[in-house]
Structure formats: C-alpha cells, structure tokens
C-alpha cells in the first residue's frame, strides 16, 4: 500500500507539472504577449486605468502577480507602465506589492512540487550556477545582495529560493525590499515619460541600463567564482 501511495503521489506530481507547463505556455501566448503589447502603448494604458479607477489598479496588480509566476513574461514593461500610469511612488508600491505576492506564490509552489517545477522555466545549468546559495553560511545575505542589484535574474532567484531551506519570513523580506532598487528606477523613468520629461527619462533609462549591465556582470562573476570553488573541492 505504501508503494502504491508513493507511486500515486509521483504520478500526481508529474501530472501537475505537465499541466503547469501547458498552462504557462497558454498564458504567455494568449495573455502575456497581448498584455505586453498593450502596456507598451502607455497612453492607452493610462486611459484604460483611469477609466476603471480602483478596478484598473487591481487588474494591474493581478497581471504583475501573473508575470512573476509565469517567468517567461518580462517584468520591466510593467514597471515602466506603472510609473507612467500611476506615478513613481504609487507605481513603485503597486509593483512591489504585486511582485511580493507573486514571489510568495512561487516560493510555496516550489516547496510543494520541487525542482521539476523550476525546470519548467529554467534549464539545469542556471540552477547549478546557484548551488552555492544552498550551502553558503552567508546565504541569506548573498540572496539579499544579489536580489537588490538591478539586472540580476529575480524570477530565477524567486524559483530557486524554494529549493533552499531559507526561512519564509527571511525570504519575504528579501523578495519585497530587495526589489526596490530595480523597480524604482523603472517607475521613475515611466513617470518622467508620463510628464513628458523626455530628457530625464532617457537619462534614467540609460543609467538603469548601465547599472543593470554591471549588475549582471557581477552576478555572473559571483556564480562563476562559487561554481569554480565547488568544482575544485
């Protein structure tokens, strides 16, 4: 009976992962791509939000939560659109709140279904690059630093966190406060576009692109260094 129960659990887990793959692809094709296209037209998006009041804000929050869960959908267009439609302060708050809820959902789903679910969105190599976060004595601090640097793959980190033994309250702090630097630069740029301060918007986006590029280089260097150390041990 015990073997049968474990077999059933394995079958259910595989079935859930297959369903997750199918649903994720369908959401990306039929929801993600149209939403990105819609949000890429900021004037229409602002008019749509203003016409719906609080309902427009709730719809935006729901879409951002979906974006975090379905890691195939990029997050930057949503952050810029939030700054354009809601202003820098409110846009940042909405994005942080929605992304935090999405990250919590991801964390709990990965704790439930394990690495197979993560592999739906990310190849094994990217997971191997982050193995040091499972064993490093400075794991929580490294998670926060990497998460806070613009340009690092936050969706990947959100999924990988569920594979570690990091405590939920710690992860909650990391995935909320750690997003602020990257989100606020995008929303400030979007707000500048909304107020037609194009020179400042360009300066913000160019600066953000430069910082994100440096952040990505630093992230790759950290992963490479720790991978090399683990290979020589």
Task: Find, among 16, 168, 61, the residue nearest to 104 by Cα.
Answer: 168
Say how many C-beta atoms besides its own lie within 10 A of residue 195's C-beta. 13
SS3 201: helix
CA distance 73 to 76: 9
SS3 160: helix
Residue 163's contacts (CB-CB under 8 Å, 6 or more residues apart) are 110, 114, 115, 118, 127, 134
Q: Report the chain (233 residues): mean pLDDT per 10 consecutive residues.
A: 52 63 59 57 72 80 84 79 88 92 90 82 82 79 85 86 89 89 89 85 87 84 72 53
State the average pLDDT for the chain: 79
Please report the pLDDT score of residue 12 as a whole number: 59
Please report the pLDDT score of residue 98 as a whole number: 92
């Amino acid at each position: 009976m015990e073997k049968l129960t474990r077999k059933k659990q394995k079958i259910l887990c595989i079935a859930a992962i297959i369903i997750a793959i199918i649903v994720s692809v369908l959401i990306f094709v039929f929801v993600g791509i149209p939403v990105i296209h819609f949000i890429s037209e900021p004037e229409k998006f602002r008019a749509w939000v203003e016409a719906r009041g609080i309902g427009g804000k709730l719809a935006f929050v729901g879409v951002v939560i979906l974006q975090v869960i379905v890691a195939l959908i990029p997050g930057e267009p949503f952050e810029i659109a939030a700054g354009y439609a809601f202003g820098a302060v409110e846009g940042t708050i909405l994005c942080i709140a929605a992304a935090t809820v999405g990250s919590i959902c991801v964390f709990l789903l990965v704790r439930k279904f394990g690495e197979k679910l993560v592999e739906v969105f990310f190849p094994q190599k990217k997971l191997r690059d982050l193995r040091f976060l499972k064993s490093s004595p400075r794991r929580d601090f490294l998670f926060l630093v990497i998460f806070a640097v613009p340009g690092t793959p936050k969706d990947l980190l959100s999924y990988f966190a569920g594979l570690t033994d990091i405590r939920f309250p710690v992860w909650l702090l990391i995935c909320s406060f750690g997003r602020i630097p990257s989100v606020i630069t995008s929303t400030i740029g979007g707000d500048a576009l909304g107020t037609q301060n194009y020179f400042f918007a360009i300066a913000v986006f160019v600066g953000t692109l430069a910082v994100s590029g440096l952040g990505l280089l630093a992230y790759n260097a950290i992963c490479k260094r720790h991978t090399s150390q683990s290979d020589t041990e």
